[in-house]
Chains A and B, each alone.
Chain A
Amino acid sequence: MDLVPGLPLADTNFVDATWILIVKSIVIFLVILMIVPILLLVERKLLGRFQQRYGPNRVGPYGLIQPLADVGKLISKQGFRPKGAVPILYELAPALTIFSAILTLAILPFGDVKDGVGFYGIDVPIGILYFFAFSSIAFYGLLLGGWASGSKYSFLGAMRAAAQLISYEIAMGLALLGVVIMAGSLSLVDIVKAQGDIWFIVPQFVGFLIFMVGGFAETNRPPFDLPEADAELVAGYGTEYGGMRFGSFMFAEYIEILIVSGIASTMFLGGWMGPGPGWLDPIWMLFKMWMLAMFFIWIRATLPRFRYDQLMSFGWKILLPLATLNVLVTAVLVVVL
């Protein structure tokens, strides 16, 4: 944990020069930027298969260029603001959501330090707290979007997002605490290194389940997509948004899926670890993230939406006590063994 002299901001475990940091952030952003449209297409294709239909197959061979067509449509649409909307906050909301989503990408580790270059954006000692800090800022994007739209559907969606957040976030944090106790560190790189013998999904299976359930609520994905619940609230907080502002919400949602998958891979599935030579590490990490993202899609196609009071009582009455028990048992076992 050496401090780099002259760095103004907090202790960030920077191991490399500034220009490498800039290159790294561009590379991470570009890789995720490329994965998101593929994920979008694969999701629509898979949903089609799950529901015994074709899915997109008109644009390009096998519908492969569909995401490009979607993005082209969204970008060329008029940036429209409804009459009842609050001017600046309405534009700020999607920006805030996508800003915090992209910033969270920085902590996902894709490999250890190799030749003086860390295969991650930053390795902060507060580690996983960074993820929770930015996910709570992302919530204000949804809230502002819903509130500033001046529509009752948007407003109800935003309020549901607030009720949902306080129901699952504590349990989600506690679920990760078991892993933190076992690894003895909050830093994601150290947590991956602590899984050399056994992946934490084995001793912390309960924690993994609770984290994934929380992850579905975190990303507003079915079965917990209550803030947008298209059957009841049109599109919830996003009802009044069109064009690329809607696109930003959408893009942020898919980045968040990748982030939650990435955090779950790091905390429970051994992160970049896998058989094969060292250069395969980032591939292994991306592969695990991808498989978990497929799990998200599978669940979306399988489960119906919960009612929001069901989610709240589930979060408070089942997940939270279970997560607390998990932490207690882990702590006692770690001390005793």
Chain B
Amino acid sequence: MEEIAFFFGALFALGGAIAVVAVKNPFYSVLALVVHLVFLAGLFLLLMAQFLAAALIVVYAGAVMVLYVFVAAYVGGIEEPKWDASPELRVIGPILAVALFIAISIAVLGSGLAALGTPGPEDVPSGFGTPEAVGLLMMEDFLIAFEAASLLLLIAAVAAIVLAGRRREDRKSATDDRKSATDDRKKLVKADEEINAAAAGKGEGAR
């Protein structure tokens, strides 16, 4: 049962992750990411991390992805070319990818694989992965890290608002430009009308 659930979840989680980068349409990319997140939450459930699973779905699938979907659907329809990078990126990209792969490999070989042959922890402590346990960890043992992360998010939010505000000022000056442009056009239309009227008058006179 566990094995079936694990391989089922792993298959869809991996498939979703690959589809995110392999699919051309950004809307499908976002949907693939949602599929990935949902099945990743399922894998968390297998590890008894229920709070993490619920938080993953509520925060990522429920809030962050909704914003992505919003943007992707509005921009949508544009098929992104799969690999159209500048010459510098063509060199740097693969190097960084290989470096990341090596880093992850070291981490996996060093820790994760060591536990592979063992049956795993015999008895999971009662209440492991519940909101209470996670809350105690975050509010007592890792308080500083937790607060630092929330401060970082706060700064990011404030920065986003400042940047958006600046963009709006630009747009205001742009509308000013447009206003003067419409004034110009009005003048032109008026001149046009005068010329037409004059031409019509001349025409009548000739008749």
Interface residues of A (CB under 8 A from B): 1-3, 8-11, 124-126, 129-130, 132-133, 135-137, 139-140, 143-144, 147, 155, 158-159, 162-163, 165-166, 169-170, 173, 186
Bound-state CA distance A21–B58 (Å) is 26
- In the complex, which residues of chain A have a beta carbon less than 8 angstroms from the beta carbon of B174? none
- Decide if A137 touches B50 in the complex (CB within 8 Å): no
Partner of A133 from the list B5, B62, B127 (CB cut-off 8 Å) is B62
Partner of B38 from the list A137, A162, A173 (CB cut-off 8 Å) is A137
- Decide if A159 touches B73 in the complex (CB within 8 Å): yes
Partner of A125 from the list B69, B70, B73, B131 (CB cut-off 8 Å) is B131
- Decide if B131 touches A126 in the complex (CB within 8 Å): yes
- Decide if B58 touches A129 in the complex (CB within 8 Å): yes
Interface size (B, Cβ < 8 Å)? 36
- Decide if A136 touches B61 in the complex (CB within 8 Å): yes
Give 7 closest A-B pairs by Cβ, nearest first: A136-B62, A129-B54, A133-B57, A125-B130, A8-B2, A10-B50, A126-B54
- In the complex, which residues of chain A have a beta carbon less than 8 angstroms from the beta carbon of B74? 159
Q: Which residues of B in the span 48-92 have a Cβ within 8 Å of any Cβ on A? A: 48-51, 53-55, 57-58, 61-63, 66-67, 69-70, 73-74
Asked, given contacts A2-B126, A159-B70, A169-B63, whether A133 binds B27 with beta carbons under 8 Å apart, the answer is: no
Bound-state CA distance A311–B51 (Å) is 30
Partner of A130 from the list B34, B38, B54, B70 (CB cut-off 8 Å) is B54
The 6 sampled A-B contact pairs (Cβ below 8 Å) are A124-B50, A133-B61, A139-B62, A140-B34, A159-B70, A162-B66
Bound-state CA distance A186–B129 (Å) is 13
- In the complex, which residues of chain B have a beta carbon less than 8 angstroms from the beta carbon of A147? 27, 73
Most-contacted residue by chain B among A9, A133, A165 (CB, 10 A): A133
Bound-state CA distance A279–B195 (Å) is 92
- Decide if A126 touches B50 in the complex (CB within 8 Å): yes
Main secondary structure of the interface of A (DSSP, over half): helix
Bound-state CA distance A159–B34 (Å) is 17
What string of 1s and 0s marks CB contacts (under 8 Å) between B148-177 and chain A? 000000000000000000000000000000
Closest A-chain residue to B48, C-beta based? Answer: A10
Closest B-chain residue to A2, C-beta based? Answer: B126
Most-contacted residue by chain A among B2, B73, B124 (CB, 10 A): B73
Closest B-chain residue to A12, C-beta based? Answer: B50
Closest A-chain residue to B6, C-beta based? Answer: A8
- In the complex, which residues of chain A have a beta carbon less than 8 angstroms from the beta carbon of B34? 140
Partner of A9 from the list B31, B45, B54, B124 (CB cut-off 8 Å) is B45
Closest A-chain residue to B70, C-beta based? Answer: A162
- Decide if B50 touches A125 in the complex (CB within 8 Å): yes
- In the complex, which residues of chain A have a beta carbon less than 8 angstroms from the beta carbon of B50? 10-11, 124-126
Given contacts A129-B55, A132-B58, could you give 5 more A-B pairs where the C-beta distance is less than 8 Å?
Answer: A130-B54, A137-B62, A155-B73, A159-B70, A163-B70
- In the complex, which residues of chain A have a beta carbon less than 8 angstroms from the beta carbon of B49? 10
